[in-house]
C-alpha cells in the first residue's frame, strides 16, 4: 500500500516543485503494522503555500490507538531535470516508496522499442523474435543505492528487495548469494530529500560505505571501503543495457547482468540474472497470469519455457499499484545468447492479451578469472 499512496500523493506534488520550493516529508514506513493513510496538507517552507494535491501521513495500525503519528524524516529537494545525483543523496523511490541513499551512478544504454529510431546506432533482434525492428540506444542514468531496511517489509509490489546476486566462490556451480537492500534505480524514480540526521538510512552497510560530512552537499561522502568495493565488484555490478517495450499500456523493462562462468561436469556454465519491471500505464485493472519465454543459445539450442505467473506470484496491476518488479536467473552452456517472450495478461472481464517482453542479449564479455568479491572489503 505504501507504493500506491506515495505515487498518488508524494509523487504528484514533488515533481512539480520549483527550485525555490521544498516540502516536509512525513516518514513513509517507520512502522510495524499495516499502513493507514490520514490526509493533511503540507506547506511550502518558503512561501507557505499548500500543495495542490493532498499529501498523506502514515500511521501504524498498531500504534494508532495511542494516537502516535510518525515523525518527519526530511525536506524535499527539487527534482533534477538535468545532470545526475551525487553519492550520498537521500531519496524516496517514486514507485516503490522506500527511503534510500545513492552510492554511485551507472550510465546505461536504453533500448526503447516504443521509439522509432533512425537506422544507425541500433540493435537488431535475435532470430525468431517479434520482428525485424532495430532499436536505437540512448544513454540513461541509473544509480546503485542502499534501501532503508525499515521499509523493506512494506514493499509489496516486488518479489524481493535485493536486486544484486552473486555466484558463490565454492565448487557448487548453482550456488548464489544476495546482498539484501542493494538496488538499481532509474534517474526519474528518484525523489530527492535532505535530512538533519547523521544516520538517516538504516542498513548494515551504510556507515561502512559513507560518512557524515556537514560541509558537503549532500552531507554524506564515500568512504574508501565503498570505492574499493565498487572497483573490485565492477564487472558483476555493472549495468550496461536496459530494454523497454509497451503493449496495450503495459510497459515491460528488462535489465540483464552477467554473473560469471562456472565449470560443471566438464563443461562451462555461464550465468546471468535479469531484472524485470511491469508497469500499468493505463487505468484498466489487469493481472499477470502466465509467462512464455524463448531462450536461444549460441550453441544453437532454442528452449521454450511456459508457466503460471512469475516467481510464484500473479501480480495485479492497477492505478493504485501500477508496478511489479522481480529478478530471476538463467544459465547457458555457451558464452552468449538471447531471450524474448510474452506475458499473458487477464482483464477484469476475463479476456486475455499478450504483452511482449523486449528481446535482450546475454553476453559474457567480462573477465571470468576474478571471482566476485561480494561482501569482501
Lowest mean pLDDT: which of 172-176, 284-288, 357-361?
A: 172-176
Which pLDDT does position 163 carry in this prediction? 61
Least confident among 79-83, 244-248, 261-265: 261-265
pLDDT digits (tens, 9 = 90+) for 1-57: 444 434 334 444 444 443 444 556 655 444 433 333 222 233 333 333 333 333 333
Checking if the pLDDT of 191 tops 60, the result is yes
Q: Are the C-beta atoms of 145 and 102 separated by less than 8 Å? A: yes
Place of cell 535489465: 255
- Nearest Cα residue to 11 out of 55, 41, 59, 74: 55
**Residue 159: its pLDDT value, please?**
73
The whole-number average pLDDT for the span 310-321 is 94
Q: What is the 3-class SS of the chain, one letter each residue?
A: CHHHHHHHCHHHHHCCCCCCCCEEEECCCCCCCCEEEEEECCEECCCCCECCCCEEEEEECCCHHHCCCCCEEEEECCCCCCCCCCCCCEEEECCCCCEEEEEEEEEEEEEECCCCCCCCCEECCCCCCCCCCCEEEEEEEEEEEEECCCCHHHCCCECCCCCCEEECCCCCCCCEEECCCEEEEEHHHEEEEECCCCCCCCCCCHHHHEEECCCCCCCEEECHHHHHHHHHHHHHHCCCEEEEEEECCEEEEEEEEEEEEEEECCEEEEEEEEEEEEEECCCCCEEEEEEEEEEEECCCCEEEEEEECECCECCEECCCCCEEEEEEEEEECCCEEEEEEEEEEEECCCCEEEEEEEEEEEECCCCCCCCCCCCCC
Task: Look at 131 and 204; give whichever has higher pLDDT.
Answer: 204
Q: What is the pLDDT of residues 35-50, one digit of tens each?
A: 332 222 333 333 333 3
pLDDT score of 27:
53
Closest CA to 327 of 204, 184, 229: 184
pLDDT at 128: 54
pLDDT of residue 73: 85
pLDDT at 341 over 50: yes
CB 109 within 8 A of CB 241: yes
Q: Return d(Cα 264, Cα 251) in angstroms, integer.
A: 37
According to the model, what pLDDT value does residue 288 have?
98
For residues 304-327, average pLDDT: 94
pLDDT of residue 308: 96
How many Å apart are CA 156 and CA 161, to the nearest integer?
A: 10
Nearest Cα residue to 71 out of 29, 121, 128: 29
Query: By CB neighbour count within 10 A (0-12 exposed, 13-18 middle, 19+ buried), where does 316 fall?
Result: middle
Instruction: Report the pLDDT value the prediction gives residue 66, as an integer from 0 to 100.
Output: 53
User: 234: burial class by Cβ within 10 Å (0-12, 13-18, 19+)?
Assistant: exposed
**Average pLDDT score, the chain:** 79
CA distances from 260 to 165, 219, 228, 236 (A): 11, 36, 20, 8
Q: How many whole angstroms separate alpha carbon 144 and alpha carbon 185?
A: 7
**The C-alpha cell that represents 297 in the structure block:** 543459445
Kindly report, residue by residue over 225-236, the tens digit of the pLDDT. Answer: 999 999 988 888
**Cell numbers placing 141:** 542514468
Structural domains present in the chain: 75-113+138-363 (2.60.40.1470)
Residue 58 has a pLDDT of: 32
Mean pLDDT of all residues in 46-75:
47
Which is nearest to 84 in space by CA: 101, 112, 106?
Answer: 106
Give pLDDT, residue 291.
97
pLDDT in tens, 251-288: 999 999 998 888 877 888 999 999 999 999 999 999 99
Rounded CA gap, 294 and 186, in Å?
27
**Computed over its alpha carbons, how large is the radius of gyration of the chain?**
22
Amino acid at each position: 500500500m505504501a507504493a500506491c499512496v506515495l505515487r498518488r500523493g508524494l509523487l504528484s506534488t514533488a515533481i512539480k516543485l520549483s527550485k525555490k520550493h521544498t516540502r516536509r516529508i512525513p516518514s513513509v514506513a517507520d512502522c510495524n503494522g499495516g499502513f493507514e493513510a490520514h490526509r493533511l496538507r503540507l506547506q511550502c517552507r518558503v512561501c507557505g503555500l499548500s500543495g495542490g494535491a493532498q499529501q498523506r501521513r502514515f500511521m501504524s495500525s498498531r500504534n494508532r490507538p495511542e494516537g502516535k503519528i510518525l515523525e518527519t524524516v526530511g525536506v524535499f529537494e527539487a527534482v533534477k531535470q538535468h545532470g545526475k545525483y551525487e553519492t550520498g543523496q537521500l531519496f524516496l523511490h517514486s514507485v516503490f516508496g522506500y527511503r534510500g541513499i545513492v552510492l554511485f551512478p551507472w550510465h546505461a544504454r536504453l533500448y526503447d522499442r516504443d521509439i522509432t529510431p533512425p537506422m544507425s546506432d541500433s540493435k537488431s533482434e535475435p532470430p525468431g523474435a517479434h520482428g525485424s525492428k532495430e532499436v536505437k540506444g540512448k544513454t540513461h542514468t541509473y544509480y546503485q543505492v542502499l534501501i532503508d531496511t525499515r521499509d523493506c517489509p512494506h514493499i509489496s509490489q516486488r518479489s524481493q528487495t535485493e536486486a544484486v546476486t552473486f555466484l558463490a566462490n565454492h565448487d557448487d556451480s548453482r550456488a548464489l548469494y544476495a546482498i539484501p537492500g542493494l538496488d538499481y534505480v532509474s534517474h526519474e524514480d528518484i525523489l530527492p530529500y535532505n535530512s538533519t540526521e547523521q544516520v538517516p538510512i538504516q542498513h548494515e552497510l551504510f556507515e561502512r560505505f559513507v560518512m557524515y560530512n556537514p560541509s558537503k552537499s549532500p552531507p554524506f561522502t564515500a568512504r574508501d571501503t565503498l570505492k574499493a568495493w565498487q572497483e573490485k565488484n565492477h564487472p558483476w555490478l555493472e549495468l550496461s543495457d536496459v530494454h523497454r517495450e509497451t503493449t496495450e499500456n503495459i510497459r515491460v523493462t528488462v535489465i540483464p547482468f552477467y554473473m560469471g562462468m562456472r565449470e560443471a561436469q566438464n563443461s562451462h556454465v555461464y550465468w546471468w540474472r535479469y531484472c524485470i519491471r511491469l508497469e500499468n500505464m493505463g487505468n484498466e485493472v489487469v493481472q499477470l497470469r502466465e509467462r512464455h519465454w524463448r531462450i536461444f543459445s549460441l550453441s544453437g539450442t532454442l528452449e521454450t519455457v511456459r508457466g503460471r505467473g512469475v516467481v510464484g506470484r500473479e501480480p495485479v496491476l492497477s492505478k493504485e499499484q501500477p508496478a511489479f518488479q522481480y529478478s530471476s536467473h538463467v544459465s547457458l552452456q555457451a558464452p552468449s545468447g538471447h531471450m524474448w517472450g510474452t506475458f499473458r495478461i487477464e482483464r477484469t472481464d476475463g479476456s486475455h492479451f499478450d504483452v511482449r517482453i523486449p528481446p535482450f542479449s546475454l553476453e559474457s564479455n567480462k573477465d571470468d578469472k576474478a571471482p566476485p568479491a561480494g561482501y569482501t572489503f
